[in-house]
Amino acid sequence: MQELKSVYNKEELLNNAVGLLKNLIEIPSFSKDEFNTSVEIENFFKKHQIPTKRFKNNIWAVNKNFDVFKPSVLLNTHHDTVKPNKAYTLDPFVPIEKDGKLYGLGSNDAGASLVSMAQVFLHFYDKEDLKYNLVIALTAEEEISGFDGIEALFPQLPNIEFAIVGEPTQMNLAIAEKGLLVIDGEMKGTPSHAAHPNDDNSIVKCMQDLQNILDFKFPKVSEYLGEVKITLSGIHAGVQHNVVPESCNFTLDVRVTDAYSNKEAFEIIQSQMKSTLTARSFRLNSSKIEMDHPFVKAGIEIGRTTYGSPTSSDQAIIPCTSVKMGPGDSRRSHTADEFIYINEIEEGIDIYIQTLGKVL
């Protein structure tokens, strides 16, 4: 049996990462259908003589010198993807390396983070006398905030004190992240023939109610995340031109800051509206890490910047202190002809190792 190699140079780590990412791109891994990519991840670690554990489509491992009496740092990202954008001009499942870029579905979100974290785990795997254990968890269902991903796996992991969540942040530190609250609403009215007067038109009443909430400003503004953002993302009423409908239905996408819990935000919104509102879930709350956390200080020491992220991730359901950090650019996520720069992967591996080296 091939022995585990204890030292990998930068070129080897980068080649490992790019090779693994190409393999993952070739395997469709839509949310809830990630089994084949989970096997590919298992095979990668098996090749490097690292034992892994499985829970559903989640793969995880601990460092060689794991000590149950030490706290652990978690490396976490996901291997599921959204479905390809309809504007793709390339085959989303064919990895194409061209002009310093690697194209393919999931390359930026979050394949680059996954393969970079895998190399970082190799780098630290057999190190002795670390202050923390190192745990890696490559998980499922992130794109749908599913229940069978990191949320289901977390209780099975060892004592996690701190987590790094791999998402495209250009390797800067997202020290705060907005939560997500999706609200379905209904405004009732009186149905009638369109030819007759009707002062209780559900659509008109709904428009007035929606305009009121879209103009509303939450009183508290977050230092890192700014204002709570409410977006009208769907509306439906009526099926026939000459019938005033009984009800008008709509959906609000609410990005909640660390100034409010999702329940608090919902109660405030309901107090400002006459429509009947129903929250789909309260579980995807905002998160924040303090500026004096050792990992944040370490990142700043090596020249990384900090910011508040408007997008949500599995950070929202990880029940410990966490930071979001990974190679790539969030603006490329879910776009047609998604890509990652090869040098972004190289930078990602290097910065992860540098920053963790100051903490572990």
What's the CA dihedral at 164, 254, 222, 262 to 10 degrees? -80
Say how many C-beta atoms besides its own lie within 10 A of residue 180's C-beta.
Answer: 21
Question: What's the CA angle centered on 13, arms 8 and 14, to 5 degrees?
Answer: 150
Eight-state DSSP code of residue 65: T
Helix (H, G, I), strand (E, B) or coil at 61: strand
158 vs 281: CA distance, rounded Å: 27
For residue 273, the one-letter residue type is M
What does the pLDDT read at residue 196? 95
For residue 290, the one-letter residue type is E
- Collect the ranges in the chain with pLDDT lower than 50: 1-3
111-145 burial, b if ≥16 CB within 10 A, otherwise e? bbbbbbbbbbbbbbbeeeebebbbbbbbbbbbbeb
List, in sequence order, the alpha helices (H) in the chain. 10-25, 35-47, 112-124, 150-153, 202-215, 262-271, 294-301, 342-359
Asked if 117 contacts 345 with a C-beta cutoff of 8 angstroms, the reply is no
* Phi, psi of 289, deg, nearest 5: -120, 145
User: How distant, in Å, are the alpha carbons of 3, 223, 313 from that of 170?
Assistant: 35, 21, 16
Question: Which residue is associated with the tokens 């690697």?
Answer: 102
What does the pLDDT read at residue 7? 73
Asked if 165 contacts 77 with a C-beta cutoff of 8 angstroms, the reply is yes
Cα 26 vs. chain centroid, distance in angstroms? Answer: 21
Q: For 208-239, what is each residue's pLDDT tens digit? A: 999 999 999 999 999 999 999 999 999 999 99
Helix (H, G, I), strand (E, B) or coil at 255: strand
What's the CA dihedral at 23, 326, 82, 90 to 10 degrees? -60
What does the pLDDT read at residue 297? 98
Enumerate residues 6+ apart whose C-beta is below 8 A from 100: 341, 342, 343
Cα 14 vs. chain centroid, distance in angstroms? Answer: 23
| pTM score, whole prediction | 0.91
Structure tokens that stand for 74 in this block: 């978690």
Q: Which of 205, 53, 196, 203 is nearest to 137 (CA)?
A: 53
List, in sequence order, the alpha helices (H) in 99-240. 112-124, 150-153, 202-215
For residue 176, the one-letter residue type is A
Q: For 142-169, what is each residue's pLDDT tens digit? A: 999 999 999 999 999 999 999 999 999 9
Question: What's the CA angle centered on 224, arms 223 and 226, to 5 degrees?
Answer: 75
Q: Which of 48, 319, 339 is nearest to 165 (CA)?
A: 319
Asked if 118 contacts 131 with a C-beta cutoff of 8 angstroms, the reply is no
317-355 burial, b if ≥16 CB within 10 A, otherwise e? bbeeebbbbbbbbbebbbeebbbbbbebbbebbbbbbeb
